[in-house]
Each structure stands twice: as C-alpha cells, then as structure tokens.
C-alpha cells in the first residue's frame, strides 16, 4: 500500500507540474501551430529521468521508495508521451504531415539527447 501511495502522490505532483510547465512554455513561446508545451515537458522529463537514473546507478543515493516516488510517480505524471501521440496523430490527420514528422523528430531526438546529457552529467 505504501508503494501505491508513493506512486500516486508523485503522479499527482507530476501532473500538476506538467500542467504548469506546459502552460509556461506556451506563454513563453506562443507558437499556435506547434505543441511546444508537450515538447518542453518531454525534454525536461527525459533529462530529469536521465539525471535521476545516473545518480541512482553511480552513487546509490536514491533508495527504492524515493525511486518509486520520483521516477515512476512524479516523472510518470510529468512526461506526456500519450499527449505527444495524440498531437502527432492530430497533425497528421489534419494533413500537416511535415509538422507531424517534425514533432516526432524533435520529441524523440531531443528527448534521447536530454536523457544522455542528464545521465552523463551525473556520472562524471
């Protein structure tokens, strides 16, 4: 039961953070035709996950319960790949194929680069 509460509480916090960060990104970069909020959240979430994974593996400073709370709960609620899928589908459905492909490329490649960077920064 404790594990479920840790993940659930973290998920709540992550979802609230996703809402706030996504909204902030849209206010800072008001590009109406592109889902910049989702891109920002996905890249930040990937970076944070990479950094936490790097710390957990290299320094063993993150215990099992903290990993559940942060990595599964908070970051699971924060990252928005389900939204990414829907927005990409919508762009493609609306005959905006180039925008859909750009959305896929930016989310995947910047996300992977952010995981690599976060992981690498914590391993040195």
Q: What is the pLDDT of residue 44?
A: 93
- In DSSP notation, 50-115 reads HHHHHHHHHH--S-HHHHIIIIIIIHHHH--HHHHHHHHHHHHHTT-HHHHHHHHHHHHHHHHHHH
pTM, entire model: 0.79
DSSP state of 118: H
DSSP state of 33: T
Q: What is the pLDDT of residue 120?
A: 94
Q: What is the pLDDT of residue 106?
A: 96
pLDDT along the chain (124 residues), means of 10: 96 96 92 88 92 86 90 90 88 93 96 95 86
**Three-state DSSP state, 4:** helix
């Amino acid at each position: 039961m404790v594990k479920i509460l840790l993940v659930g509480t973290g998920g709540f916090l992550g979802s609230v953070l996703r809402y706030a960060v996504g909204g902030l990104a849209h206010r800072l970069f008001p590009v109406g035709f592109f889902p910049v909020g989702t891109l920002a959240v996905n890249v930040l979430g990937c970076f944070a996950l990479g950094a936490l994974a790097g710390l957990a593996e290299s320094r063993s400073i993150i215990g099992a319960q903290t990993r559940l709370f942060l990595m599964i709960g908070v970051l699971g609620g924060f990252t928005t790949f389900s939204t990414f899928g829907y927005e990409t589908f919508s762009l493609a459905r609306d005959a905006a194929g180039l925008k859909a492909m750009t959305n896929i490329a930016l989310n995947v490649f910047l996300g992977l680069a952010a995981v690599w960077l976060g992981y690498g920064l914590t391993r040195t």
